[in-house]
Chains A and B, each alone.
Chain A
């Protein structure tokens, strides 16, 4: 089996971490039994009118995004010959996630006046994912023939060398 490039493994690990963080935020969003208010915490952010889109918690949308990124990462492992298309899709999703996270962080800082550390963690994860995916896309789209796998084909070069 060919070795997968490190950026692909890093992307899967980040997507997995994102699933964990967004999963926790989704649980908090649906947790109606919250019974204590402290200063500027996640509940403040998650109870703001900006925490939902058409009644759907943004944390849930974030969880779906990370699940899609994770699933596409795994699919890329399985079908490496389609890596360019799958990476392009992942890069697009991660870019949308990063831009939306930037908007949400702006809301936290300047509109809601509370910072949710888990939301910031998620923003950092998705930004990292976006950078990794675009870097990977750049690697995959280098002007080498697209059909040629990025991982070096094992030992073909050596066989062609003339025997002394």
Chain B
């Protein structure tokens, strides 16, 4: 027996109730849908953002590790001209250029790889310039370690090969690019006697030499890298290759 039968028979009331009930149901349903939509509009972007950031971080770490593989650059440009220790070119060349660099400095790498081949070809190979590289290791502990390692390579007669390999394997500043282990790997690809190199580095054979060179550069006024001096001029930085070639041209007899 239904309850409605017990209610006093009121014409239209039942239909009215059903209509109201349907409307209430529709309203409830609409509200439920709206609530669901609101929830989705908040949750979906948060979930997508978290997933995207997770993928981004993972991929970034993976990319950072990929560039850490040691590689050997083409060093024929150095070995094709007279070279002696830290010097490149004819000892009797009329112009003497000093470059102060830091193996961790991206601008030094940029200069080395993009502009130095032009200098080498036009001025050093032609006997006009004698080039000298000096350390101004200021960016961090790995700068000094890389400079010491280059000294150890110099002891084995492969300074310029090691110098080029350091820039080729520069992956960032104080991020382990020039850790002792990686410096040994670089020594290996350059063809150094790794045992001798290791003991040279471990014993800090050239630690004081590098510090002395940095102190000298500071006293001369070097404040950034790469800095240059042409025939004993005060150190200067450049904004384009033209800034340097102009100074060299002016110094040529």
Q: Among B49, B59, B110, point to the contact of A53 (Cβ < 8 A).
A: B59
A84 to B41, Cβ gap below 8 A? yes
A92 in contact (CB, < 8 A)? yes
> Binary interface profile of A, 92-116, with partner B (CB < 8 Å = 1, else 0)?
1101100110010000000111100
User: For the complex, what is the distance from the CA of A149 to the CA of B27, rounded to whole Å?
Assistant: 19
> Given the interface contacts A49-B175, A96-B52, A112-B173, does A33 sit within 8 Å of B63 by beta carbon?
no
**Chain B contacts of A114 at CB under 8 A?**
173
Contact across chains for B64 and A50 when beta carbons are under 8 A apart: yes
Q: Which secondary structure characterizes the binding site on chain B?
A: helix
Is there contact, CB below 8 Å, between A113 and B45? no
Contacting pair B139 A37 (CB below 8 A): yes
Q: Closest residue to A111 on the B side, CB-wise?
A: B175
Inter-chain CA distance A143–B33, complex, in Å, is 12
Within 8 A of A (CB), among B5-48: 34-35, 37-38, 41-42, 44-46, 48
Question: How many B residues, CB 8 Å from partner?
Answer: 46
Which B residues touch A85, using CB under 8 A? 41
Query: Which residue of chain B is the closest to A48 with respect to CB atoms?
Result: B172
Contact B38 A43 (CB under 8 A): no
Residues of B in contact with A (beta carbons under 8 Å apart): 34-35, 37-38, 41-42, 44-46, 48-50, 52-53, 56-57, 59-60, 63-65, 67-68, 102, 105-108, 110-111, 114, 138-140, 171-175, 224-226, 237-240
A residues sitting closer than 8 Å to B (CB atoms) are 32-39, 43-44, 47-50, 52-55, 58, 84-85, 88-89, 91-93, 95-96, 99-100, 103, 111-114, 137, 141, 143, 145-146
Subset of 27 A-B contacts with CB under 8 Å: A32-B114, A33-B240, A34-B106, A35-B110, A35-B238, A35-B240, A36-B226, A36-B238, A37-B106, A37-B224, A39-B138, A48-B173, A49-B65, A49-B67, A50-B172, A53-B56, A53-B59, A93-B45, A95-B45, A95-B46, A96-B48, A99-B50, A99-B53, A103-B56, A113-B173, A114-B173, A137-B41
